[in-house]
């Protein structure tokens, strides 16, 4: 049990971390998107190890099946990776719009700062974290009850939000329709 | 196995997302970073639910985060596509003005 | 009739309104303006007459007076009381003065309609006359020295403008300036006296001053040049200096002869009848103060010297108006002498009689001058050597002038015999009483000898003998009776008769008008103010009982120490002797004049050649003009003036003003530097630059780049977390 969890965790963690790092440093946007897919799958695996099957499933369905595909579509619609090949002023050929050395230095500095912040913040919670084993039961029913009792308002609002997002996205992304072209 | 590995993983995800958001100049790539950050947050919620208390609320929050991320991705990508139609560019720095 | 301010004040306000109105309409409606002026003096005359009759026949006790006040302005703040009261003080003296001023002024107005008729500035003359009359009446009605001073200066201004009335004439402008400046010397002292009284008493009302004198509160010394002078002496002296200036007394008499540059009616009104008499009036009002200050001897000496000195100068004058001017100075000297010897009512009486006969004399002289017209120079003739024999051509003028001359000479049955000889009699009494008065008395009697001489000299030279300038005589207009030329003269001449003023021949109370009184009406009416009546007026009874003790120590003594019956009899004898002596002296003077100018037994030339030095001195008016102009002004004031100018130019101008300018220039450059650097560069440009700077900063921040915002957000968050370490 422990061993099985351990293996799943290791795999999932490796997948998530590796995917995330690849997303961060990939030269190609398409590749980055695919790496994100892996990373999300890894996170879903981590959910499984945490006993959140329903969340893991939702993760897979929504992200892997929806968001990433949507992202890929967007990438394709906006010209893919062949946009604006530019050379940085340091003479390095940089991937178009995927950042250059300067931006990465900035990003890494920020990352280090955030690491410091996170270490600072999570110190207490890490030290206080006592492992409380829970009896591992299915969470789907509990989530369903919770959603329609405690979180009914958030549930309804999220449905409206989804509808709004759907309609809004459709309206925003509708093709450039001008009356002149129709006429 | 405690909570620490989960926190480490989520931190790495979060920081990678931040790096992506800062270093990339492509709007879609930044959206990828946002997805990573959101996932890190959701992972934390679920992890703390598991190790600190057995309340299922963390799961519900994770679900809502996924939901919001999906909506955000849909709207955000719609905006990106629209922006690309207007500006012929998805460079983040070309989006410095609200009016075209 | 109960008098109030509103019933008394129109006496002075009517001429004033006439002045204001005429000042505007005189250019276009000259005749209307003249008529308004005359009416505006005639109505006050009627009112003054009514007041006079009321005072004489109803309330003829000398105690009666009317005192109405109103607050002019009130600057009191808390306990500090500063109130300036104006008001009317009307007693018997004021009533007599009012009647005299209005009557004489009306007659002179009337005469002016004849005399000034052909003058190009006919209307303007009446404007001045109205203003002057108003000021004189205001002075008479005033109840305090402050308003007296106001009207005093107003009269001075009128005098100034009327002396310079013929400003085309050479010397008229200088004469008006001289008159103004000379009287100014006295006025400064007068103002000083007013201030001295004000600071001590807190008021300059007559009543308050009398009260203070009765309480002997004025004997506190004033420290002046290290000498402690009693306040009464100091204030009295200063006020008497005002009299000296205005009434042309001994040191400051130089302006009055020059004042004859003015039109003759103005000379009659201002420089004979009223304004110069106002100085005497003021001294009479302040008689208790001068007595308390022990100034009477000084005043007597001044009066005596003036009386004799002016009379001697009048001996050699050839200008008819100059003779009258010196005669005026001399007569004013008699009035002042009367004040000095304590002949209070006689002095006022002489003021009145002199106003009448001297106005008449001046008007007669005007009539003569008007009749004679030089066809070569087109100027009126005033020189007596060119006249002569005018008796037949100007009969009415001659009669009037003869009456007045007899009056001024002190012939019995005429007015000056009553008044002047009482002054002389009192001077004799005082000389018998105290040897210090012997000199003024002798001076007065010498003047009384000279007065008829020079007056009859004038008469003889003008009206008798053969015409010395035949051409002038031929062209002289014959006089036809006209209401505005001869009527004023004759009316005034009638009033030179003595019985108007005294029921007796000598004015010494032999024939009594009021049986219950031992004196005649004038002496009954006008007595030296008895100050006790003022004591209880405003004070509380407690203060009255206290102040009665002080009366015994008061310097003011209305009886001059002559109290007993025996002494009074003695006085009576001396009076009779004085009257007889002055009559004899006057007769001698007239006879001398007659023998010199009619029968020619003594030749005037013999005198002038024998006493050439004296004649020269007299012709040069005792060198007073020389003293004042050449020595005092040229030698003393001019170098002083130059010194002051040098100090002004070399010191103040150079160092103070220019230095200040330099300081200002320096501070200006500092200010300019400050302006350029601090204000302009730092503040103005600096604000622009700082705006631009922040603009750059903000523009850099607000660049619309989402990633930048995000970075900032993260950094802020991170710094917040790292800095505060929130406990989770």
The full 3-state SS of chain A, as one line of letters, equals CHHHHHHHHHHHHHHHHHHHHHHHHCCCHHHHHHHHHHHHHHHHHHHHHCCCHHHHHHHHHHHHHHHHHHHHHHHHHCCCCCCCCEECCCCCEECCCCCCHHHHHHHHHHHHHHHHHHHHHHHHHHHHCCCCCCCCCCCHHHHHHHHHCCCHHHHHHHHHHHHHHHHHHHHHCCCCCCHHHHC
Which phi-psi region, left, alpha or beta, contains residue B33 (left: φ > 0; alpha: ψ -120 to 50)? alpha
Q: Which residue has the higher pLDDT, C528 or C654?
A: C654
- Element of type H or E holding C607: helix C604-610
What Å distances lie between residue A127 and A122, B2, C520, CA to CA? 8, 11, 136
Looking at the complex, does the CB of residue C725 fall below 8 Å from at least one CB of chain A? Answer: yes
Is residue C159 in some structural domain?
no
pLDDT value of position A7: 86
The domain that holds B75 is classified in CATH as 1.10.287.3510
- A159 contact residues in B (CB cutoff 8 A): none
Residue C510 has a pLDDT of 53
Q: Is B48 helix (H, G, I), strand (E, B) or coil?
A: helix
> In B1-100, which residue ranges form alpha helices assigned H by DSSP?
4-23, 27-51, 57-87
Q: What percent of chain A has pLDDT over 90?
A: 2
**Count of the separate structural domains present in chain C:** 4
- pLDDT for position C136: 93
In a domain, B68, yes or no: yes
Q: How far is C726 from chain A (nearest CA, A)?
A: 8
Asked if residue C274 is part of any domain, the answer here is yes
Contact check, Cβ <8 Å, C711/A117: no
Q: CB within 8 A of C469, min separation 6: which ones?
A: C381, C386, C387, C388
**Is C319 in the same domain as C264?**
no
Chain B CB within 8 Å of residue A72 CB: no
Residue C185's Cβ-count burial label (10 Å; 0-12, 13-18, 19+) is middle
**The pLDDT of residue C541:** 33
Query: Residue C330's pLDDT is what?
Result: 93
CB count within 10 Å of CB C4 equals 11
Nearest-by-CA chain B residue for C704: B96
Distances, alpha carbon C164 to alpha carbons C258, C296, C359, C394, C600, in Å: 10, 35, 20, 29, 39
Please indicate whether, in this complex, the C-beta atoms of A98 and B24 are within 8 angstroms of each other. yes
What pLDDT score does A94 carry?
47
User: What pLDDT sits at residue C504?
Assistant: 64
Query: Same domain for C485 and C555?
Result: no
Identify the pLDDT of residue C538: 40
Residues of B in contact with C711 (CB under 8 A): 22
Domain with C707 in it: 626-721
Per-residue pLDDT at C518: 52
d(CA C484, CA C466): 29
Do C284 and C356 fall within a single domain?
no
- Decide if C155 is inside a domain: no
Task: Supply the ipTM of this predicted assembly.
Answer: 0.89
Q: What is the pLDDT averaged over residues C524-538?
A: 63
% of chain C exceeding 90 in pLDDT = 22
Cβ-Cβ pairs closer than 8 A, A with B, add up to 251
Contacts of A106 in chain B (CB under 8 A): 22-23
Which one of B92, B94, B97, B98 makes the best mutation probe of the C interface by having the most chain C beta carbons within 10 Å?
B92
Radius of gyration of chain A (CA): 22
Q: Which of C707, C711, C714 sits opposite B92 (nearest CB)?
A: C707
Using DSSP bridges, classify how beta strands A86-87 and C65-74 pair: parallel, antiparallel or unpaired: unpaired
pLDDT digits (tens, 9 = 90+) for A56-105: 888 888 888 888 888 888 888 776 544 455 554 554 444 456 667 888 88
Name the β-bridge partners of C66: C90
Contact (CB, 8 A) for C507 and C421: yes
Interface residue of B44, B79, B93 to substitute, partner C, most C CBs within 10 Å: B93
What average pLDDT does this structure show over A30-51?
88
Classify residue C690: in a domain, yes or no.
Answer: yes
More confident residue, C38 or C81: C38
Do residues C125 and C182 share a domain?
no
Q: Provide the pLDDT for residue C308.
A: 92
Given this model, what pLDDT does residue C533 score?
A: 65
B52 lies in which domain range?
4-94
**Interface chains of chain C (3 or more CB pairs under 8 Å):** A, B
Rounded CA separation C279/C290 (Å) = 14
All residues at 6 or more sequence positions from C34 whose CB lies less than 8 Å from its CB, including other chains: C113, C122, C123, C126
Average pLDDT value for chain C = 82
Name the interface residues of C facing B (CB cutoff 8 Å). 703-707, 710-711, 714
Beta bridge partner(s), residue C70: C86
Taking only the tens place, the pLDDT of each residue in C347-393 is 998 999 999 999 999 999 998 888 887 777 777 778 887 887 888 88
User: pLDDT for C146-163, tens place per residue?
Assistant: 899 999 999 999 999 999
Q: Are residues C51 and C100 in the same domain?
A: yes
Coil/strand/helix, residue C222:
strand
**What mean pLDDT is predicted for residues C177-188?**
90
Q: Please report whether residue B100 resides in a domain.
A: no
Most confident of A171-175, C279-283, C413-417, C699-703: C279-283
C49 found inside a domain = yes
Q: Does A181 touch chain C (CB under 8 A)?
A: no
**Same structural domain for residues C315 and C279?**
no
Percent of chain C residues past pLDDT 70, beyond the cut: 89
Residue of C nearest to B20 (CA): C707
For residues C613 and C709, membership in a common domain is answered with: no
Residues of C in contact with B21 (CB under 8 A): 707, 710
Q: Is A128 on the interface with C (CB under 8 A)?
A: no
State the pLDDT at residue C417.
83
Is A70 within 8 Å of B77 when comparing Cβ atoms? yes
Q: Are residues C251 and C264 in the same domain?
A: yes
Task: Kindly report the nearest CA distance between residue B96 and chain C, in angstroms.
Answer: 4
pLDDT at C1 over 60: no
Q: Are residues C405 and C536 in the same domain?
A: no
Mean pLDDT over C598-624 rounds to 79
Closest partner residue to A117 among C711, C718, C727, by Cβ? Answer: C718
Pair (C335, C261) in one structural domain: no
**Selection from C394, C421, C399 nearest residue C409 by Cα:** C421
pLDDT band of C547, cuts 50, 70, 90: very low
CA distance C61 to C533: 13
CB pairs under 8 A between A and C: 24
Distance (Å, whole) CA C314 – CA C256: 13
Nearest beta carbon to residue C705 from set B18, B21, B96? B96
Q: Give the pLDDT confidence score for residue C544 in this predicted structure.
A: 35
- Give yes or no for residue C42 having a pLDDT over 60: yes
Nearby residues of B56 by Cβ (< 8 Å), 6 or more positions away: A139, A142, A143, A146, B49
CB contact under 8 A, C710 and B22: yes
**Does residue C429 share a domain with residue C472?**
yes
Dihedral sign for Cα C339, C345, C348, C349, please.
negative
Per-residue pLDDT, averaged over A5-25, amounts to 88
Is pLDDT above 70 for C496? yes
Q: Which residues on chain B place their C-beta less than 8 Å from a C-beta of chain C?
A: 18, 21-22, 30, 92-93, 95-97
Contacts of B26 in chain A (CB under 8 A): 29, 96-98
- Tell whether C706 lies on the interface with A, counting CB pairs under 8 A: no
Our count of domains for chain B comes to 1
Confidence of residue C515 (pLDDT cuts 50, 70, 90): low
Cβ contacts of A110 on chain C, cutoff 8 Å: 711, 714-715
How confident is the model at residue C602, as a pLDDT?
76
Which of B 52-71 lie inside 8 A of A, CB atoms? Answer: 52-54, 56-57, 59-60, 62-64, 66-71
Q: What is the pLDDT of residue C216?
A: 72
pTM: 0.64
Q: Do C496 and C543 fall into the same domain?
A: no
Evaluate whether C393 touches C371 at the Cβ level (below 8 Å).
Answer: yes
- At residue C360, the pLDDT reads 93
Residues of C in contact with B18 (CB under 8 A): 714
Q: How confident is the model at residue C103 (pLDDT cuts 50, 70, 90)?
A: very high
Q: Flag whether residue A120 sits within 8 Å of chain C, measured between CB atoms.
A: yes
Mean pLDDT of C491-509: 74
Taking a C-beta distance cutoff of 8 angstroms, is the pair C338, C346 a contact?
yes
Quick one: average pLDDT of C638-665? 84
């Amino acid at each position: 049990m422990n061993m099985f969890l351990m293996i799943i965790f290791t795999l999932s963690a490796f997948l998530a971390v590796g995917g995330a790092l690849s997303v961060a440093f990939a030269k190609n946007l398409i590749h980055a998107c695919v790496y994100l897919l892996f990373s999300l799958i890894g996170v879903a695996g981590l959910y499984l190890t945490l006993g959140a099957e329903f969340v893991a499933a939702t993760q897979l369905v929504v992200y892997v099946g929806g968001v990433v595909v949507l992202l890929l579509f967007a990438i394709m619609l906006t010209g893919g990776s062949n946009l604006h090949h530019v050379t940085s002023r340091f003479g390095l050929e940089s991937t178009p719009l995927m950042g250059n050395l300067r931006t990465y230095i900035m990003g890494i500095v920020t990352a280090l700062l955030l690491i410091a912040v996170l270490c600072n913040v999570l110190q207490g919670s890490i030290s206080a974290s006592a492992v409380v084993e829970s009896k591992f039961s299915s969470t789907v029913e509990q989530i369903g009850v919770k959603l329609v009792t405690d979180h009914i308002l958030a549930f309804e609002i999220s449905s409206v939000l989804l509808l709004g997002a759907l309609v809004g996205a459709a309206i925003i992304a509708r093709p450039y329709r001008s009356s002149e072209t129709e006429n | 196995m405690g909570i620490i590995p989960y926190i480490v993983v989520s931190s790495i995800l979060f920081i990678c997302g931040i790096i992506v958001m800062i270093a990339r100049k492509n709007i879609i790539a930044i959206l990828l970073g946002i997805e990573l950050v959101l996932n890190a947050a959701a992972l934390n919620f679920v992890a703390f639910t598991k190790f600190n208390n057995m309340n299922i609320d963390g799961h519900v929050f994770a679900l809502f985060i996924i939901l919001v991320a999906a909506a955000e991705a849909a709207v955000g990508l719609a905006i990106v596509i629209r922006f690309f139609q207007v500006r012929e560019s998805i460079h983040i720095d070309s989006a410095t003005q609200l009016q075209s | 009739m109960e008098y109030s301010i509103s019933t008394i004040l129109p006496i002075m306000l009517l001429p004033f309104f006439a002045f204001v109105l005429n000042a505007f309409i005189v250019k276009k409606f000259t005749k209307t303006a003249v008529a308004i002026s005359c009416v505006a003096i005639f109505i006050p005359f009627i009112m003054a007459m009514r007041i006079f009759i009321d005072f004489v026949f109803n309330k003829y006790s000398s105690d009666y007076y009317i005192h109405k006040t109103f607050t002019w302005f009130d600057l009191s703040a808390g306990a500090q009381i500063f109130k300036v009261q104006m008001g009317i003080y009307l007693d018997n003296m004021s009533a007599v003065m009012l009647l005299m001023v209005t009557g004489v002024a009306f007659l002179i107005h009337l005469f002016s309609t004849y005399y000034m008729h052909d003058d190009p500035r006919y209307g303007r003359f009446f404007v001045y006359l109205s203003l002057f009359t108003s000021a004189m009446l205001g002075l008479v009605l005033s109840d305090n020295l402050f308003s007296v001073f106001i009207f005093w200066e107003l009269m001075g201004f009128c005098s100034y403008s009327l002396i310079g009335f013929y400003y085309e004439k050479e010397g008229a402008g200088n004469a008006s300036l001289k008159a103004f400046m000379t009287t100014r010397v006295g006025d400064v002292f007068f103002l000083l006296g007013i201030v001295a009284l004000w600071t001590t008493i807190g008021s300059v009302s007559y009543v308050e001053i009398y009260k203070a004198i009765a309480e002997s509160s004025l004997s506190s010394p004033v420290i002046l040049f290290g000498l402690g002078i009693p306040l009464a002496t100091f204030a009295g002296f200063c006020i008497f200096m005002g009299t000296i200036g205005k009434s042309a007394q001994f040191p400051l008499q130089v302006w009055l002869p020059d004042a004859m540059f003015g039109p003759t009616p103005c000379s009659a009104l201002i420089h004979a009848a009223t304004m110069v008499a106002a100085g005497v009036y003021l001294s009479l009002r302040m008689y208790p103060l001068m007595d308390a200050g022990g100034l009477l001897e000084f005043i007597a000496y001044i009066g005596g010297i003036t009386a004799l000195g002016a009379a001697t100068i009048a001996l050699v004058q050839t200008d008819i108006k100059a003779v009258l001017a010196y005669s005026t100075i001399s007569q004013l000297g008699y009035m002042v002498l009367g004040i000095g010897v304590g002949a209070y009512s006689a002095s006022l009486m002489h003021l009145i009689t002199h106003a009448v006969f001297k106005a008449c004399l001046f008007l007669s002289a005007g009539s003569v001058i008007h009749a004679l017209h030089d066809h070569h120079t087109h100027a009126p003739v005033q020189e007596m050597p060119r006249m002569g024999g005018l008796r037949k051509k100007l009969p009415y003028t001659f009669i009037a002038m003869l009456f007045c001359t007899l009056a001024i000479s002190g012939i019995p049955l005429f007015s000056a015999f009553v008044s002047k000889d009482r002054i002389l009699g009192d001077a004799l009494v005082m000389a018998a009483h105290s040897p210090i008065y012997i000199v003024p008395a002798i001076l007065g009697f010498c003047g009384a000898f000279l007065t008829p001489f020079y007056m009859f000299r004038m008469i003889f030279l003008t009206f008798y003998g053969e015409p010395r300038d035949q051409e002038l005589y031929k062209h002289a207009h014959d006089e036809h009776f006209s209401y505005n030329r001869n009527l004023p003269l004759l009316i005034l001449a009638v009033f030179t008769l003595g019985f108007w003023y005294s029921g007796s021949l000598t004015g010494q109370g032999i024939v009594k008008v009021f049986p219950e009184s031992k004196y005649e009406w004038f002496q009954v009416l006008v007595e030296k103010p008895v100050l006790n009546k003022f004591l209880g007026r405003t004070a509380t009874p407690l203060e009255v009982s206290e102040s009665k003790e002080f009366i015994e120590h008061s310097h003011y003594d209305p009886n001059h120490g002559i109290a007993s019956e025996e002494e009074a009899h003695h006085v009576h004898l001396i009076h009779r002797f004085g009257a007889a002596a002055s009559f004899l002296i006057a007769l001698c003077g007239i006879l001398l004049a007659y023998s010199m100018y009619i029968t020619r037994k003594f030749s005037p030339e013999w005198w002038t050649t024998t006493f050439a030095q004296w004649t020269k001195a007299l012709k040069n008016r005792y060198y007073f003009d020389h003293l004042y102009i050449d020595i005092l002004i040229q030698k003393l004031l001019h170098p002083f003036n130059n010194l002051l100018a040098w100090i002004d130019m070399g010191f103040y101008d150079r160092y103070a003003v220019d230095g200040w300018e330099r300081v200002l220039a320096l501070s200006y450059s500092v200010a300019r530097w400050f302006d350029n650097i601090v204000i302009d560069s730092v503040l103005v440009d600096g604000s622009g630059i700082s705006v631009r700077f922040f603009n750059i900063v903000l523009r850099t921040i607000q660049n619309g780049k989402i990633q930048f915002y995000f970075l900032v957000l993260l950094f802020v968050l991170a710094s917040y977390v790292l800095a505060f370490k929130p406990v989770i």
